[in-house]
Amino acid sequence: MENGIKKIFGDARGRYDNMKNDITGTLSAYKLGLERVKSSAKVYKDEDTYISEHSAALVSDTRRKIAEAEKGFCDYIRGVTVPALREALVDRLTAQPDKAFMQTLQYYQQFGIKLEPDEVKVLAYDAAGNNLGLRCLAAVADKSGIKVSFPPMSDLSGIIDRLERMAQPPLMFCPSEFLAEGVAILGNKPLRRADGTKYGETGPVDSPYLIMTTQNMESTMKAADEAGDTWSAATVPSISSYDVVRGENGEKISREAQRAADKLTAAQRVSIEDTSAAQQIADAVTAEQKEADAKAAKGRAHYFGT
C-alpha cells in the first residue's frame, strides 16, 4: 500500500465537498423559486391554491437534483473509494518485511540479546512501516520489557466500513442555513439495516433529524481525512515508486533520500515504552505476596492442623 492512499481519501473528500455544494445550491435555488411563487400568488384570491399548484414542480425538480447529487457521491464511494481502500488494506496486510530486517530480529531472538529502547527505535525505522515487520518487532521487543505500539489495521478497516455504510442514499444531508427547505423537500426518515441500506420509511423529517444526519456525515468524513493522514504517514513505498524531484532550491532529491524521509515519518508513528522497570516492580510485589501467602498457610497448618 503506497502513499497513494492519501489521494484515495483526498478524492473522496473532493467528491463529498462537490455534493455539499450541489445540494446547498439546489436548496438555495428552491428557496428563491418558492419566494417568487409566493410573491406572484399575492395577486390571486386563493393564494394557497396558487402556491400549492406552482410549487409542486419546483419541489419535484429540487428532489431530483438532490437525488442525483447524492447518487453521484454514493456511487463513487462504493464503486471507487471503498474497493481501492480494501485493496490497499490487503496489500498492507500481506506485504513481506525486508529480509535484512527480519534477519536482524532473528539474531536478537536466537541469541537472547536484550533490546534497548534506542535499538528498537532504529529497528522501527528499518521496518519501513511494514505491518508484519512491526508486529514481529513488537513481539521480540516485548521479551526485553519494551512495548511497541503503532496504528492497528483495524482502524483502517473500520473507516472503510464506516464510509460504505454512510454512502447509502438517501443521505439526508442538509446545510444548517436551509433546514426549513430541507424539511419541506426531503420527505420521510429512512429505516436502515446495519449496513446502511434503506428498507423502509418512518415519519417525516424534522430539523433535529437533519442536523443529526448531517453531523454524522461530517464526522465520518473528518475521520476519513484523519485516516488519510495517518496511513499515508505509516506507509513507505518501494524505491521504484518514487520519481526524482527537485527541492525549493532546485537541487535534485534522490529516490533514496525521499524514501529515507518517509521511513523516518513512518518510524515516528511508532511509540516505544520501556516497561521493564514496571515489570520488575510487579514481579517483586508478586513474589512478596507469594511469600506472605506461604507464611500464612504455614501458620494455619501449625495452629489449626490444615
Q: Residue 68: what residue type?
A: E
**E strand segments, 133-292:** 146-149, 188-192, 198-204, 245-246, 252-253, 271-274
Give phi and psi for 193, each to the nearest 5. Answer: -80, 175
pTM beyond 0.75: the answer is yes
DSSP string, 29-98: HHHHHHHHHHHHHTTSS-HHHHHHHHHHHHHHHHHHHHHHHHHHHHHHIIIIIHHHHHHHHHHHHHPPPP
Please determine, for residue 248, whether its predicted confidence score (pLDDT) is greater than 70: yes
The most distant pair of C-alpha atoms in the chain lies apart, rounded to whole Å, by 108
Q: Cα 147 to the chain's mean position, in Å?
A: 24
Nearest to 13 by CA among 155, 157, 159: 159
Q: Which three cell numbers stand for residue 78?
A: 462504493
- Which carries the bigger pLDDT value, residue 224 or residue 288? 224
pLDDT for residue 40 = 82
pLDDT for residue 299 = 60
Report DSSP state, residue 114. Answer: P
pLDDT tier, 284 (very low <50, low <70, confident <90, very high otherwise): very low
**E strand segments, 124-221:** 146-149, 188-192, 198-204
Q: Residue 106: what residue type?
A: Q
Tens digit of each residue's pLDDT (9 = 90 or more) over 4-36: 899 999 999 999 999 999 999 999 999 999 988
Q: Are 145 and 279 in contact (CB under 8 A)?
A: yes
